[in-house]
Chains A and B, each alone.
Chain A
Amino acid sequence: MSDVKEISSNKLLAFGIIGGLLGIYLTYILPALGTQIGGQAESFLTVISPTFGALGAMCSVVWGAEAVRRVSKYGLGTGVPSIGQIAMGMGIVAAMFGLAIVKTMLIAGPIVALVTASVIGLIIGWFAQNVIKMKIPVMIRCMTEIAAAGALVIIGFSASVAGNFDFLGSIIPLVFDNGVMLAVFWVGAVALLHPFNACLGPDEKQKRLLYLAVSTGAITMVIMGIAALVTLGASGAITLVLGIILWVISYKKFWDEVYKDSSAVVGTGLIPKTEA
């Protein structure tokens, strides 16, 4: 449909899953590695590890935004926002389940959450396609992908605020009790659905959408960084600063694409004459 080659959906799926899981697990592995090494390195690793959770979540945001784009191009009928909402609804149910149920084997939490989210997404997608008869070819696959992306986004950003993904020990006191989980849920949902909704139109380009997805993910990271200033201290500052830097870069690149794609970007002007 465009002369620029688009990044394939499978590549973005791999990016989202691998990037997301890598970031989430680093929040757990790096401090553990630190205790092994001990000394100066330990405190350093403990301070920088939560930021990787946010970075992993940003990879999932990009993946999710692409999946939203694919399913929404068919015209959902009720609008793009509802799919972001259902994704996060499924994501939060699956994330809480996956992280809570693995009491003894903490490390399996994110994988269980990812699988649960995919299963719930598959079931809802199947019902939407066959019972409610929505007749969208990619519905089942995209619903699965969006639910999985939602779960990873939630776990990643929660880990960046709580330090790791231990449900009872860190996430409940540090993310649920102060209400930050709502920000993860909502700002994460907007990060998934804003890119396509903001670029809606016949000349929508994937490159511009992906830059916008990175930008919305970076804004979410900034908010998580501010929240983490209270729960974690210095890690919050690192997440905040890195978020701002990533935002500046991706926002500038987004605007470059806008200048390239628009028919005209003018300082001011009258309405151009058309054949109306």
Chain B
Amino acid sequence: MVAIDPTLLNVLLIAISGTLICAAVHFIPVGGAPAAMAQATGIGTGTVELAAGSGLVGLITASYMYANEPTAPVYLVMAAGAMGSMVMLASTMLAGGLIYAYGVAVPFASAQVKKDPITGQRQDNFISKGTQGQGIPTICFVSGIIGAALGGIGGALIYYVLVGIYSPLITTSAAAVAGVFTMGVFYVNAVIPSYGVGGTIEGFHDPKFRRVIGKDVLTSFVVSLICGVVAVMIAGGMVA
């Protein structure tokens, strides 16, 4: 393997993590305000907040893992982040599914595909009149889990890289500074795809997914690259 300058490697890793967070937002099935009224498929909340919420829970689990096992390999920290994020989104989707099933009493149906790719069941005759689908069918659930995993990995990776850069310089405060910076990058990278997606997306089976993911990922990569450069230069400013 070609020996890459560690600083450049750090910048690239931060850029990649930001891009992962952006990609994650496209996978998570969000229906926006209509979904909260059982008018559209997906979770009834906003894209930014759900992605950010699950990613930040992943950050908590990853940082706890890293704090207790400082020698952990980066893959373990990333997996811990993915696990926390996936657990949150799975719990949310399951509880939401219970409400759709028994509180509003609607069958789950996607409006974007004729048959669910995973279970093979027909969707269109389960869509109620005047709506664009409702509930969280299996394909959306799976898509959401994948998205949560990507978001958790992205957040954990940024945190890992930043703690690695800042610990030698400001030992005790490294976690705090790295955490705040991660949150900032998180929100920037979660809002960019929400502009591209326009507020609602059903997951990777949605035709909108292929249309928008390219330009969103490009924007996110550029912005995260800038954030990576900024992060490394901040470290330069910390050498007292």
**A binding-site residues for B, Cβ under 8 Å:** 76-79, 81-83, 85-86, 88-90, 92-94, 96-97, 99-103, 116, 120, 123-124, 127-128, 131-132, 134, 167-168, 172-173, 176-177, 179, 181-182, 185
B209 to chain A, nearest CB (A): 15
Q: Which of B183, B199, B215, B227 contacts A132 (CB 8 A)?
A: B215
Residues in A with CB closer than 8 Å to B177 are 96, 172, 176
Known: A82-B191, A182-B180. A101 touches B236 (CB 8 A): yes
Contact of B191 among A85, A177, A179 (CB under 8 A): A85
* Separation of A86 and B212 alpha carbons in the complex (Å): 19
Chain B residue contacts of A116, Cβ below 8 A:
230
Instruction: Note all chain B residues with C-beta closer than 8 A to A83.
Output: 191
A82 to chain B: which residues have CB within 8 Å? 46, 48, 191, 194-195
Assembled-state Cα–Cα distance A81/B168 (Å)? 37
CB–CB A96/B176 < 8 A: no
On B, residues with C-beta under 8 Å from A are 46-49, 52, 170, 172-173, 176-177, 180-181, 183-188, 190-192, 194-199, 212, 215-216, 218-219, 222-223, 226-227, 230, 233-234, 236-240
Q: How far in angstroms is the closest Cβ of chain A from B168?
A: 14
Say yes or no: A92 contacts B46, CB within 8 Å. Answer: no
Expressed in whole angstroms, the minimum distance between the Cβ of A66 and any Cβ of chain B is 20
- B226 touching A101 by the CB < 8 A rule? no
- 14 inter-chain pairs at a CB distance below 8 angstroms, sorted by A residue, are A78-B195, A79-B46, A89-B184, A92-B183, A93-B230, A96-B181, A100-B238, A101-B233, A127-B219, A131-B218, A168-B170, A168-B237, A181-B180, A185-B180
Q: Which A residues touch B223, using CB under 8 A?
A: 120, 123-124, 127
With a cutoff of 8 Å between Cβ atoms, the chain B residues found around residue A85 in the complex are 48, 52, 187, 190-191
Contact B48 A97, beta carbon cutoff 8 Å: no
Given A93-B227, A93-B230, A131-B218, does the pair A179, B188 have CB atoms closer than 8 Å? no
In whole angstroms, how far apart are the Cα atoms of A92 and B177 in the complex?
Answer: 11
Compute how far the CA of A96 lies from the CA of B49 in the bound complex, rounded to whole angstroms: 24
Bound-state CA distance A83–B190 (Å) is: 11
Nearest 4 A/B pairs, CB to CB: A100-B237, A89-B187, A89-B188, A86-B191
Report the bound CA distance from A13 to B186 in whole Å.
Answer: 28
Cα distance, A179 to B183, chains bound together (Å): 13
